[in-house]
Amino acid sequence: MAKTLRAAVIGGSGYGGAEMIRRLLVHPEVELCRVAAVDHVGEPLGSAHPSLEGVTGLRFEQLAPGQAAEGMDVVLLGLPHKVSAHQMPELLSARGARGGPPVVVDMSGDFRLRDAAAYQRWYGAAHPHPELLQSFVYGLPEQHREAIRGSGRVASPGCFATTVELSLLPLARAGLLEGVVHVQGITGSSGSGIAPSAGTHHPVRAGNLRTYKPLEHQHVPEIAQLLSGAGARDLELRFVPVSAPLSRGILATSFVELPEEWTEARLQALYREAFAGEPFVRIPARRLPEVAAVSGSNFAEVGLAAGPAFRGRRTVTLFGATDNLVKGGAGQAIQNMNLALGLPERLSLEDPGPWPP
């Protein structure tokens, strides 16, 4: 059966780009037609992504945003923060396959926040096009599915953000998330991108655990924005990220204080009801979430443990696990693309990932 929709990837030479390309190449409805990049120009995709060797005849092209988007139904961006924002006006003025601009799914953080002042505070620069911020839907399908359907502009969430949001979302919806919440997130090295740095270079990272950006990570405001919109009150997120010696995956652990009547059994029922029918969120029945169980897949795992009551309160620990490149990145971008184009949400995303990982 011929594919009926046309897609381009801009920023295709990084790890996120590789995952988007891989998913698009096996997509039954969407044809990957162009891959734009500023490096490996003219070379086959396998030159940057060895797993794609011989899989496709596409080559990396150096294209302006408007050129890449011309005649496309959808454009997916794997560009760094602060780059995407500058290219967006030209991209949105391109003539897509149906005359108007193509659907845009952006994986950077440039259009996740609705407040330009918050963007400047957390990303360290004034937003070049604040007038566009309100036009993007924040692409967490588990909360904004209906808004994403038919939307022309989607800002896909960050990897830490996705993992933390899913683990706390049922509490926010139930009105139970209030005040200070402490979170630790442990992440693999691919979340830092394809270019090595002093902190991500293998000899340093392989046998090391290292905290970075404590209480200052740029995913904090998007988590607070999403959860506050879902019902959290006066939320103050205290988030500490940790780099771990693994290539992909995130495990987030959050600590909240709840009234003692919220027993573990009652919370388990709340979470199972909240995620009933969600195609990519699961609550393990006989264990807690773990990275190996979701590695290479678009699935997220969520779980919890409730401590004993003390003076009318109990500490509840929430756990979330994702693959930072799939559900935490490119896979969720494809999920958002499917929704925005009116396609079945699961297309090209249902594989469970390898075991052992």
Residues annotated as catalytic (active site), given as ranges: 159
Length of the chain: 357
For residues 162 and 280, what is the distance between their CA atoms, to the nearest angstrom?
12
Per-position b or e across 48-60, b if 16+ CB within 10 A of its CB: bbeebeeeeebbb
Q: Is 63:13 a contact under the CB 8 Å cutoff? A: no
